[in-house]
Amino acid sequence: MKKDFIIPYLKTLSLDPENQESPIHFLDRWKTPKDYFYLRNHFAYPQIIPQPFYLTIQGNVKKPVKITMNDLHHLPSKTIMLPLECAGNNRAKFKPKVYGEQWEEGAVSQAKWKGVPLRELLNRAGLLDGSKEAVFVGMDFGERKDLEETFYYGRSLPIEKALHENTIVAYEYNGKPIPYKHGFPFRLIVPQWYAMASVKWLQNIFIIKHEFNGPFQTKDYVYYPYKDSDKDKRPVTTINVNSTIQQPMNNSIIEEGPQMIKGIAWCGTGTIKEVEISFDYGISWRKASLKWKESEKYAWVKWQFEWQAVKGEHTILVRAHDTEGHVQPLRPFWNRKGYGYNAVQKANIKVE
């Protein structure tokens, strides 16, 4: 058979709404092609009302504005490569088990997004005193069973993060218009935050003087450290330093001799400084070599380690460090809704 016919697929978790994992173990590229980018949806896909596409900014502003696709194309743009990681990535690994989509390692993918810094658009509307948050509302909506009410998908950012130079309203994905399932025509892209913040099918932006209390802000995407109480809850924001072993795969059998162990690492504060491998359950660690994507400070890092594989069964652990002193822990921080998993990744290997 011709090699081009042998291709990876997404892994289906649910179809209505559509939730599918990226075949991350088989993607050795900086940019994830759209057919391999994970899909995470809370509702059915929205109907996109045809041209002209626009978004609005209203609320605590001098002058509400309507921005068309044409306007966006004429404003100074930025192109940023970054991973989007679902806050629920690796949720399936929590013990005790937690409810929700049972993601393994594949709720992460990377693309190059082109768009206009949100602050350019907010400046056009003119923020008034007391602006505390910006709320971003997508075109998709549906009923939440827990609340027996219909909601749009909406999330807010603190005004400082909304005004950050690299928070953009994107209109291109890997050099093409954004694919429909990933938020066409406009998508908010929030570097360094878990991907729930990067609202797809962005339609309306509201500037508010208080804290947004929509359910995707105050019920979901909150760390609840305890099973039976909401004590010490705090919002899910920046990505925890994380890494994945792509090859060899967990429970695989490989040959003795030189073997390349490889994967990716990424983080939400600073940049990746070091990736280490352990063959003795974390007693000693050996440095992997790293490849950064030049001039893309948010992009994931590729790591590899050449191993002289000896016969027997082995457990390989990997952990990444960021430049702000964060490192992946041996045990995950358990929380009731299963967000932010970043414990060291393991692969059990048999060498024959």
Ligand X SMILES: Nc1nc2c(c(=O)[nH]1)N[C@H]1C(S)=C(S)[C@@H](COP(=O)(O)O)O[C@H]1N2
What is the total count of residues that contact ligand X (CB under 6 A)?
A: 18
In whole angstroms, give the CA distance from residue 341 to residue 333.
Answer: 7
Let me know: does 297 contact 313? Beta carbons within 8 Å: no
Let me know: does 278 contact 241? Beta carbons within 8 Å: no
Q: Which two tokens stand for residue 253?
A: 């059998």
- When asked if residue 317 is in the footprint of Mo ion (CB under 5 A), the reply is no
In whole angstroms, give the CA distance from residue 243 to residue 345.
Answer: 7
Q: Which residue has the tokens 């457990």?
A: 315
Binding mask 77-96 for ligand X (x = CB under 6 A): -------x-x----------
Tell which residue, 200, 58, 87, 196, has the closest CA to residue 140.
Answer: 200
Provide the minimum distance between the beta carbon of 314 and ligand X in the complex, in angstroms, as a whole number.
33
Please, what sign has the CA dihedral across residues 158, 164, 167, 169? positive
- When asked if residue 195 is in the footprint of ligand X (CB under 6 A), the reply is yes
Residue 153 binding target from Mo ion, ligand X, none, CB below 5 to 8 Å by type: ligand X
In whole angstroms, give the CA distance from residue 261 to residue 263.
Answer: 7
Binding mask 293-332 for ligand X (x = CB under 6 A): ----------------------------------------
In whole angstroms, give the CA distance from residue 104 to residue 147.
Answer: 28
Let me know: does 303 contact 290? Beta carbons within 8 Å: yes
Of 13 and 122, nearer to ligand X (C-beta) is 13
Provide the minimum distance between the beta carbon of 86 and ligand X in the complex, in angstroms, as a whole number.
3
- When asked if residue 23 is in the footprint of ligand X (CB under 6 A), the reply is no
- When asked if residue 40 is in the footprint of Mo ion (CB under 5 A), the reply is yes
**Binding segment toward ligand X, per CB under 6 A, in 6-14, 190-198, 264-272, 286-294:** 190-198
Let me know: does 350 contact 253? Beta carbons within 8 Å: yes
Provide the minimum distance between the beta carbon of 154 and ligand X in the complex, in angstroms, as a whole number.
8
**Binding segment toward ligand X, per CB under 6 A, in 119-127, 193-201, 284-292, 314-322:** 193-201
Binders of Mo ion among residues 232 to 251 (CB under 5 A) are: none
Residue 140 binding target from ligand X, Mo ion, none, CB below 5 to 8 Å by type: ligand X
Of residues 36, 37, 113, 206, which one binds ligand X by CB under 6 A? 37
Let me know: does 329 contact 344? Beta carbons within 8 Å: yes
Binders of ligand X among residues 111 to 140 (CB under 6 A) are: 138, 140
Q: Which two tokens stand for residue 108?
A: 């992460």
Other beta carbons within 10 Å of 270: 15
Residue 319 binding target from Mo ion, ligand X, none, CB below 5 to 8 Å by type: none
Q: Which two tokens stand for residue 316?
A: 């390989």
Residue 167 binding target from Mo ion, ligand X, none, CB below 5 to 8 Å by type: none
Other beta carbons within 10 Å of 10: 17
Of residues 103, 113, 193, 201, which one binds ligand X by CB under 6 A? 201
Residue 42 binding target from ligand X, Mo ion, none, CB below 5 to 8 Å by type: ligand X
Provide the minimum distance between the beta carbon of 221 and ligand X in the complex, in angstroms, as a whole number.
8
Tell which residue, 208, 233, 71, has the closest CA to residue 136.
Answer: 208
- When asked if residue 108 is in the footprint of Mo ion (CB under 5 A), the reply is no
In whole angstroms, give the CA distance from residue 348 to residue 250.
Answer: 5
Residue 322 binding target from ligand X, Mo ion, none, CB below 5 to 8 Å by type: none
H helices present in 27-81, as ranges: 69-73
Of 198 and 243, nearer to ligand X (C-beta) is 198
DSSP state of 144: E
- Contacting residues toward ligand X, per CB under 6 A: 37-42, 84, 86, 138, 140, 153, 182, 195-196, 198-201
- Contacting residues toward Mo ion, per CB under 5 A: 40, 86, 196
